[in-house]
Chains A and B, each alone.
Chain A
Amino acid sequence: MEIALALLVGCFFTVSIYLLLSKYVIRILLGVAILGNAVNLLIFTAGRLTKEIPPIIPEALQVPDGIIANPLPQALILTAIVISFSFFAFLLVLGYRAFQDLNTDDTDSMRFAEPVDEPNPPLGY
């Protein structure tokens, strides 16, 4: 089971990185969204897998009864999902605004901060 998920995580990362390298803002954004899922699945699998038993303590007991899914990675991922969503939303608007102001979706053409023909630094004392 772990091997299947490990391979799937690899696929998620590969696709995400492939999209991130693609220079076009919308594809980069898609890559960012997938990257979040890739990382979450990575953490989830690293915390070991338990089928179908959520980490919830029965009404009558003080501690869980028998094997439960590992609660720790779930807690981490829960916040990670929210954080990566807000991050994604921010990037989305940033990309949108960049397109509006620079009129391009190609990161190679976004050379406002590092112009291609930047003059050499001044010499002198």
Chain B
Amino acid sequence: MNQTILLLLLPFLAALIAPALVRVLGEKAAWLLALAPATIFTHLTGYLAPVAAGEKFTMGLQWVPSLGANLSFYIDGLSLTFGLLISGIGTLIILYAGGYLKGHPQQGRFIGFLFLFMGSMLGVVMADNLIALFVYWELTSITSFLLIGFDHNREASRRAAVQALVVTGGGGLALLAGVIVLNLITGNTELSLVLNSGDVIRESPFYLLAFWLIIAAAFTKSAQFPFHFWLPNAMEAPTPVSAYLHSATMVKAGVYLLMRTNPVLGDTAIWQTVLPLFGTVTLVIGTLLAIRQTDLKLMLAYTTVASLGLLVMLTGFGSEKAIEAAVYYLVAHALFKGALFMVAGLIDHEAGTRDVRKLGGLRKAMPITFFAAALAGLSMAGLPPFIGFMAKEEIYYAIAKPDAWSVAITVFTIFGNALMLVIGAAVAILPFFGQKVETPKHAHEGPILLWLGPVVLSICGVVSAIFASATNLLFISPMASAVAGDSVYAKAAIVFHLGVPLTLSVVTIALGCLIFWKLEKARFAMAYILRKIGWGPDHGFDQFIAGTVGLSTKITRIIQNGRMEAYMTTVFLVFGIAVWSSLYIFDELPNWPRPSGLSFYETGIFLLAFVGLLAIIYAEDRLTAIISLGIQGFAVALIFILFGAPDLAFTQFMVETLSVVILALVMTRLTLHKTDHRPFYEKSFDFAVALTAGSAFTALLLAVVQVAFNPALSEFFAAYSRTIAHGRNIVNVIIVDFRGVDTLGEIAVVMIAGLGIIALIRIKGRQPRVEGDQ
């Protein structure tokens, strides 16, 4: 089997052995476990050269071929770059998790969850089959639920986990519907084939349906406004989770989906309106909410929301240049955001707080952390010589156009980027400069497991910018080509080129510095505005959940109202209507047969049964009713005798006698209402229901006896009951011989009923009452 497929399943294997390994080796197991993603990363780098040369790979296993669901994978520029980010950052995150949760009793489980998530995420970006994509997509929702809710003793953590699951899982259902629509339009289940049918999809009448379904999936996963609220709440998770989910993986899955479907769904007016619109709104709202925060992680979380908005906007902007910029920014963001989250966790771990107001002067105490934070923060701020700067240059180069739409977007982007610079600077500068502040823990540098990740990622941010031509050739160009649907050659370089982009960059930096200078004031202003607004989607989520629970409670109360006669009325009414209507629809209504002559004693017995029935209903007291029950029972026994069933008649006599006796014994010992005292309309309604169902039985029976009888079984028993089973009474032979095991089961039923009766009689109620108390 293909090595790549095996390696894509490796994280799931690692998840299995992680708990045991951590139990034996402690946090040192992280070094060993990190080999798994590192192996995947190394293996995937082997694809870099051929993919850069324009090759695409598909591979897979059959799964449910009859339904077109296969476990197949597709490697092109887009999935390869994503795969490298996921496995590369994943390696560092596993090491970081080893250090961060050192000594935690459930560290093994935690690392196992991380591996499960990693495997699912790799599956999302590599999946070729649409169904496989959906399955992996939902797996990321479920595993992120486990990760976010890891600290399950805190309610906030549980709430965040449920919220993420509801929002992204709901989006996953939209994705399922969306890929089914794509499959119906194109007739293909493999993405690599669907991607060839862009024109068919765009001209299909179901394009809009597919568009909105895919948008719903992508926007919920990538936390676009108004679904952005789950992402900051997910910060309840331990920091390794935040660093992984919110830099390169989970939240980027939505962006991946948009980029992946861009060649087939993009290039339409609605695509180029909806994506930039929501993206820009998310960018602005995300950054505005970020400056209000004082918690390092929450500041970063809201800028993640903003960055995702920026990516969505660029993906939908509609030019190759914009896509190139999106790809640049995606890579840059994965590197600096991953590093900064790990820095935030590192500070929290060593200093005991993440509140930016309680931190300061850590530069000397944590020099390595400061080094990584500075590099990543400057990259986020978009300063040279970092890949963040190149990304920003590319963005301005792509969107700065003279038309009104582009100008509006550019203005908002400058604003968003300026605020992003503020946050980048705040995270990288505020904890490290200024007066040394007394922190809850005595701050000092963390162990290598903790600082290795941020250092490597932040250095990558510099190296990738310095060797821009290699970055362009191996990552940016192949990925942008895959997103755009035809060849794109990225030419960005670290050198300044004078012109509009550089001017806009300078404006951004100036604006950013201005806001940073007034950060305290801006924070208070935002807090004031948000207090005035009061309501937000996060609160809306609670209202939604409460409303859903309330609605389902109401519906349950209506359907399951606790009144037995309501249930029985429903059952019998549905039965009656179902039988009558199906007889009518299929034209099987019985003919009214001519009454054949009944002898006088037959008529007499039938009348006896009928009178017995009537007497039960009209009985003035219950003793009469019980005796009348005996009458109809004996009449049934007589009918059995008339039609050649003496065994039945004998049993019936016995049983009816016993029934009447024990009924009389039990019921006369209780004080009960003697007669029926329902109001008349209730009786009439109940009678109508009973008549509907009862007449349905008559009609059904008449229809049955009017078709030809198939005597095969009866003849079989008649022919073999003496020759094989050596008995002359065929009925008895059937019971004890042909269906002997069946009869044994029935005897067991009788026995269990008997045991039940004994138990009921022996067990005393909680409030014992004297029998028959008056």
Contact = CB atoms under 8 A, between A and B. Distances in A.
Given A26-B672, A55-B718, A82 B651 contact: yes
Contacts of A97: 760-761, 765
A29 to B, nearest CB: 7
Contacts of A61: 722
Nearest to B718: A64
B639 A19 contact: no
Nearest to A12: B613
A71 to B, nearest CB: 4
B728 A56 contact: yes
B682 to A, nearest CB: 9
A70 B545 CA distance: 61
A23 B686 CA distance: 11
**Which DSSP category, helix, strand, loop or mixed, fits chain B's interface?**
helix
Most A CB within 10 A of own CB, among B550, B647, B731: B731
Interface in B670-699: 670, 672-673, 676, 678, 686-687, 689-691, 693-695, 697-698
A57 B662 contact: no
Contacts of A1: 596, 598, 602
A17 to B, nearest CB: 4
B659 interface: yes
Contacts of B105: none
Interface in A1-24: 1-24
Contact of B550 (A21, A62, A120): A120
A37 B704 CA distance: 19
Interface string A92-115: 111011011101011110110111
Q: Which of B155, B614, B689: most chain A CB closer than 10 A?
A: B689
Contacts of B676: 22, 24, 27
Contacts of B719: 63
B610 A79 contact: no
B659 A88 contact: yes
A21 B731 contact: no
Given A37-B632, A57-B722, A83 B595 contact: no
A23 B746 contact: no
A124 to B, nearest CB: 7
Interface stretch (B205-213, B470-478, B748-756): B748-756
Decide if the interface of chain A is mainly helix, strand, loop or mixed.
Answer: helix
B574 interface: no
Interface in A22-49: 22-27, 29-30, 33-34, 37-38, 40-42, 44-49
A92 B593 contact: no
B647 A6 contact: no
A100 B705 contact: no
Given A18-B686, A86-B750, A93-B761, A51 B698 contact: no
Nearest to B685: A21
A49 B636 CA distance: 14
B155 A125 contact: yes
B606 interface: yes
Given A20-B568, A54-B644, 10 more contacts: A11-B613, A17-B689, A18-B687, A54-B647, A69-B645, A89-B659, A89-B754, A94-B760, A115-B562, A121-B553
21 contacts: A5-B606, A12-B694, A18-B687, A20-B568, A24-B676, A26-B622, A26-B625, A30-B616, A47-B714, A54-B644, A69-B644, A71-B721, A79-B735, A85-B658, A92-B663, A100-B771, A106-B673, A115-B562, A116-B562, A124-B155, A125-B158
Interface of A: 1-27, 29-30, 33-34, 37-38, 40-42, 44-59, 61-64, 68-72, 74-75, 77-79, 81-83, 85-90, 92-94, 96-97, 99-101, 103, 105-108, 110-111, 113-116, 120-121, 123-125
Query: Which 6 A-B residue pairings sit nearest by Cβ, starting from the closest?
Result: A14-B694, A69-B644, A114-B562, A10-B698, A13-B694, A17-B690
